[in-house]
Amino acid sequence: MQDVTSRRASAPYNQHYDPVADKSIGSGSDYAPTYWIGTAGTPPADDGPVTSDMDVDVVVIGSGYTGLSCALHLAKEFGIKAHVLEAHGVAYGCSTRNGGQAQISTGRLKRSQWIERWGLDVAKGMHAEVVEAFDLFRNLIKDHNIDCDPQDGGHYYVAHRDWMMPKLESEAALLRDTFGYGARILSRSEIHADVLRDEEARGAMWEPDGVGIHAAKLAFGYQKIARELGAKVHVDSPVIEWTTKNGVHHLRTPGGTVRARAVAVATAAYAPRGLHKRTRDRLLPIMSNSITTRVLTEPELEACGFKTRSPITDTRTLRHYYRLLPDNRVQIGSRAAITGKDAANPKHLAALREGLARKFPALRGIDLDYSWWGWVDVSHDMMPRITSMPGVPNAFYSLGYGGNGVMYSAQAGRRMAQLVAGREADIPQLPIFRDELPHEGWKTPFRRLGQWGLYQLYHLQDERA
């Protein structure tokens, strides 16, 4: 096994990359300047780039949480040693640009919306799936001693306006009475006394399952486990052409063509449109910005009233996700630019700073140690798919978490490994495993115009008194 422990990027980080507009993701780029990369230490060993043609059993495209979990479980449960192909460094995309929040969900829909879409029986099946997923996520960290700073204490869903409280109360009652899940409601005074002094908070719903993690350390932990089990992880090896001949997939990279009997796609929002026709335009990549403050002083911590390091999300449609990190910095993120060209526009950073200041006035104008952004893989119906690619033999994908993939990606990678291994019978009969991601058809060229309009509407709705 070749160990490469000091990867040197040959290209600067492209802060304007746009998976909708750009033909290629490139290769050899530095990481985005995230808090997670800045504090993770030296990445573990990888297997270097592809340097010649090769024949393998399985290729996994993408080395984020999902791809690494797929490789890990292929080896652990089925003895299949996959080759993971990554365009840049390991976990270059979503997996090192998120907020490090593990919640008991996947996709963008609530339990009540599951019932509305699929009926009660399917919704209960979906709930059982995410409960099982959270157990897997916790056990991976525990059983393999992944040093990702887990902060386990539940998830707080904070009402940012009074009119959101009845909705949270209804959802909490549904979780308790229908799903047997111990959600509960906290008042504004309880939040301020026992959780944190978020000045916007009118109350909150607390869910028992919620873990804050160090995003890059989690990914690097998965990488280390996968390689110990025999998987290969090839960095700086983007797939620039994918053809299938006589049932064999030919994946051309800058260093050589990898021929595989099976392919698992785990690129989240970072696959260029030209990767494959069955994945093209099946997602609408959404930009999310994030900042991390300098270390807070004791008076600042007192003023903000932090008594938890659990994940917190507010009830805006264009939501804020935030928490106190183990080193006493505050991280907060939210939706931002619509295009890659506009990603670095100062107005997005200013809006996020203002969001932080509204919640914690003592932090207005505080110095920032990190500021970054990244693309989130949102599906057109707000739910992920872990499924085969119609008409393409032995090809699968797991995509579309909508910002709720930190936890569920571990289970999604395992489910995709089961598909690759021909163990469909082990997977529950749920919609996210049966159908491919929906396509918007004739509306595809106008999606971003629609997104711009919806963002204006959502902002007006979110901020009304």
Q: What is the pLDDT of residues 177-209, one digit of tens each?
A: 999 999 999 999 999 999 999 999 999 999 999
Distances (CA, A) of 131 to 179, 269, 325: 11, 25, 25
Confidence of residue 465 (pLDDT cuts 50, 70, 90): confident
pTM of the entire structure? 0.97
Per-chain mean pLDDT for the chain: 96
Residue 245: pLDDT band with limits 50, 70, 90? very high
User: Which phi and psi (to 5°) does residue 329 adopt?
Assistant: -90, 160
Report the candidate in 71, 54, 433 with the shortest Cα–Cα distance to residue 259.
54
pLDDT of residue 311: 98
Q: Residue 6: is its pLDDT beyond 60? A: no
Do residues 352 and 293 lie in contact, with contact meaning Cβ atoms separated by under 8 Å? no
Query: How confident is the model over 65-109, as pLDDT tens digits?
Result: 999 999 999 999 999 999 999 999 999 999 999 999 999 999 999
| Cα separation, 394 vs 391, whole angstroms | 9
Indicate whether 309 pLDDT > 90: yes
Q: Quote the CA–CA distance of 58 and 262 in Å, as a whole number.
A: 5
3-state SS record for the chain: CCCECCCCCCECCCCCCCCCCCCCCCCCECCCCCHHHHHCCCCCCECCCCCCCEEEEEEEECCCHHHHHHHHHHHHHHCCCCEEECCCCCCCCHHHCCCCEEECCCCCCCHHHHHHHHCHHHHHHHHHHHHHHHHHHHHHHHHCCCCCCCEECCEEEEECCHHHHHHHHHHHHHHHHCCCCCCEEEEHHHHHHHCCCCCCCCEEEEECCEEECCHHHHHHHHHHHHHHCCCEEECCCCCCEEEEECCEEEEEECCEEEEEEEEEECCHHHCCCCCCCCCCCCEEEEEEEEEEECCCCHHHHHHHCCCCCCCEEECCCCCEEEEECCCCCEEEEEECCCCCCCCCCHHHHHHHHHHHHHHCHHHCCCCEEEEEEEEEEEECCCCCEEEECCCCCCEEEEECCCCCHHHHHHHHHHHHHHHHCCCHHHCCCCHHHHCCCCCCHHHHHHHHHHHHHHHHHHHHHHHCC
Q: Could you report the per-residue pLDDT of 128-172, keeping only the tens digit for each?
A: 999 999 999 999 999 999 999 999 999 999 999 999 999 999 999
Q: Is the pLDDT of residue 277 over 90?
A: yes
What confidence tens digit (pLDDT) does each residue in 410-419 have? 999 999 999 9
Q: What is the pLDDT of residue 9?
A: 77
Query: CB 101: neighbour CB atoms within 10 A?
Result: 25
Note the pLDDT tens digit of each residue in 223-234.
Answer: 999 999 999 999
Confidence of residue 10 (pLDDT cuts 50, 70, 90): confident
